[in-house]
Chains A and B, each alone.
Chain A
């Protein structure tokens, strides 16, 4: 009897194991099945956003939008690196769990268009009279278009501001004056710097672009590299000297996160960075310069004052989204004339001319900042980085002479080498574009 009972036990165990395998497999297949078909009413509209003042502001208004469309909205706030990496991973896998994408029109849009990752919004923005697409500032609006298609809608715009200590100096009108004053005020022995700014190879390129333009230079001219030309080399040398002689130690490792606190702690006379970050200097919890910070337009160089005026962040819709209608409803609501005016009144520089022309919304900004922003919104250059597919690599090439200048090395040879490399790069980038 014992012998007889053992055999069935072994066979039974085998069957149980096989059954478990089938069950596990079935569960896996069941999991896959949710990927197909129409999304259920419980599926939230998923927004991937940068952790930024605009996102934080719009999030407070989400309940009214949820009520409007009758669907929950899920918004993820990430750093720009995390956001870029998430897009890279998810969209490479054609993931359907991203609906609205916050993108940098100047950094990613060309590549995303090349990959086919952004939905075409042309008919939607142009076909809706109440939306009034023509109301968007011209420069940011132009950057929303790739290959004659509107692929994004700008939500935040940026211009460089010269933040300065109005208790120590008056705002310099020219770059020469800026340099002279910064050098005069710098006292490194006492940990005081005439100038603070971004110094990282790739990261500093955007802020440096205003210096480049104001010296009469450009990243490219008729599709050819412009960074080896005399005007560009002068701009490199100027920026390098400014940080090398008047800047804090370790400038080449400084991004926004390192540079901004130095000015906020009252340790620098001048700081050039985006106007969108101005609230950091008015916050008593993190700033000692609330009463002494001044806001001035970017100084003029030999070619005049030529600051950038760009859409720092825009909204797009993923080509893989299965909630495109709801995603468009979100874009339409979030960037409507009313909402942009409302957000701008809360201190967020938007992209609609009507908001910029409204004295009521401008009143939320400090007066000198409002004047600076308004002027530069009209005259600014619509690019702060090269207009190429592979912006990351381009910035790494262009940033090398910048770093050389900041380190006090001769700029000319490095710039010429970078120029040759950039020229080769442009040829390859064009080939990729045509592919």
Chain B
């Protein structure tokens, strides 16, 4: 620094010039470089959100640009007072999400603990575990629809060979939602396993070894040492999986069709909003439902994020 200060005038002038020039160039350039990304965000995220919000305040029907009038919060009032379709859909969405994610978390953690230490054949197990993750949800839905077909499916064929009477499975009004939760568990538990396995691999070994030396048993080490240390990863995994589960659409639609089945038995908010748009062309109400759904998801995320914070404190 002192050397710089005592430099000849020419050098000093050059130094002063260079930072100013760079800053100016950088300031101009960064907006130029950001422009495509900003345009993309504006076009693909901001505009659709604004458009949906605008539609949710209209009575648009038939076509989105039909001569529509603004009706203020009427669509939201209609949705929130609909005890026939909207609230049952909310209940099913919550039931599906909580049930599936809970089972996925427990199974995922169990599998992660089992796979934590290397064993012979672990590579094969990992490969098999990843397969459901790679399959398309619609293909999964159709596959299970065929397996579980009440009349011709292989599942009933196998069950009959052990003396169990034929089940309706996805053809049933009461069995469908639980079965779809199990299909979701089958497909997405591997994701939980991988996330939790990654989390487990970052944990220090010393606390667990110390506990072991002190005489703690397997369960005690898991309950009091491993699990508390894993909580941040666990929370993140649950948040990610919950968001995806809330938005589940493909397997529901692929197996049960419009309206989530003949008695709307698997109609979640996503399926309901889709039906309002594509089957009923009620764009105003559909947009209102989607706005409410988005707010609900944001609320769930906020709720789930607050807990680990308290835990940390």
Contacts and interface: CB of A to CB of B under 8 A. Distances in A.
Nearest to B29: A14
A254 B145 CA distance: 12
A250 B263 contact: no
A170 interface: no
15 contacts: A3-B18, A7-B21, A17-B29, A17-B32, A18-B32, A91-B63, A201-B262, A249-B168, A250-B149, A250-B150, A252-B171, A253-B176, A253-B262, A392-B275, A435-B67
Interface in B9-44: 14, 18, 21-22, 25, 28-29, 32-33, 35-36
B277 to A, nearest CB: 8
Given A115-B62, A252-B173, A200 B149 contact: no
Q: How large is the interface on A (under 10, 10 to 19, 20 to 34, 35 or more residues)?
A: 35 or more
Interface string B50-90: 00000000000111111100000000000000000000000
B190 interface: no
B9 to A, nearest CB: 15
Interface stretch (A260-268, A322-330, A352-360, A377-385): A260-268
B280 interface: yes
Contact of B150 (A13, A92, A248, A432): A248
Given A191-B151, A265-B152, A403-B263, A393 B21 contact: no
Contacts of B25: 10-11, 14
| Most chain B CB atoms below 10 A, which of A91, A117, A201 | A201
A142 interface: no
B21 to A, nearest CB: 6
A255 B257 contact: yes
B28 A250 contact: no
Contacts of A7: 21
Contacts of B66: 115
B151 A248 contact: yes
Contact of A88 (B149, B264, B278): B278
Given A111-B281, A252-B173, 16 more contacts: A3-B14, A3-B18, A6-B18, A10-B21, A24-B36, A92-B63, A201-B264, A248-B150, A249-B167, A258-B149, A262-B151, A390-B281, A399-B262, A403-B173, A403-B263, A407-B263
A252 B264 CA distance: 11
A249 B166 contact: yes
A258 B142 CA distance: 12
A407 B25 CA distance: 73
A391 to B, nearest CB: 9
Interface residues of B, number: 45
A347 B41 CA distance: 53
Nearest to A402: B262
B173 A407 contact: yes
B308 interface: no
B261 interface: yes
A85 B35 contact: no
A84 interface: yes
Interface in A87-107: 88, 91-92
Contacts of B67: 435
Nearest to A3: B14
A95 B65 CA distance: 13
A3 B171 CA distance: 77
B151 A253 contact: no
Given A202-B259, A249-B171, A250-B150, A392 B29 contact: no
A199 interface: yes
Contacts of B264: 201
A367 interface: no
B171 A250 contact: yes
Contacts of B256: 253
A390 B67 CA distance: 17
Given A249-B166, A249-B168, A200 B262 contact: yes
A403 B14 CA distance: 85
B21 A251 contact: no
A13 B32 CA distance: 11
Interface string A1-26: 00100110011011001100100100
A414 B279 CA distance: 23
| Most chain A CB atoms below 10 A, which of B29, B167, B281 | B281
Contact of A252 (B14, B166, B262): B262
B22 A10 contact: yes
A249 B175 CA distance: 12
A114 B173 CA distance: 36
Contact of A250 (B61, B63, B170, B281): B170
A249 B62 CA distance: 37
A396 interface: yes
B28 A14 contact: yes
A115 B62 CA distance: 6
Contacts of A252: 171, 173, 261-263
Nearest to B279: A392
Nearest to A17: B32
Interface in B198-235: none
Given A7-B21, A200-B257, A399-B262, A432 B62 contact: yes
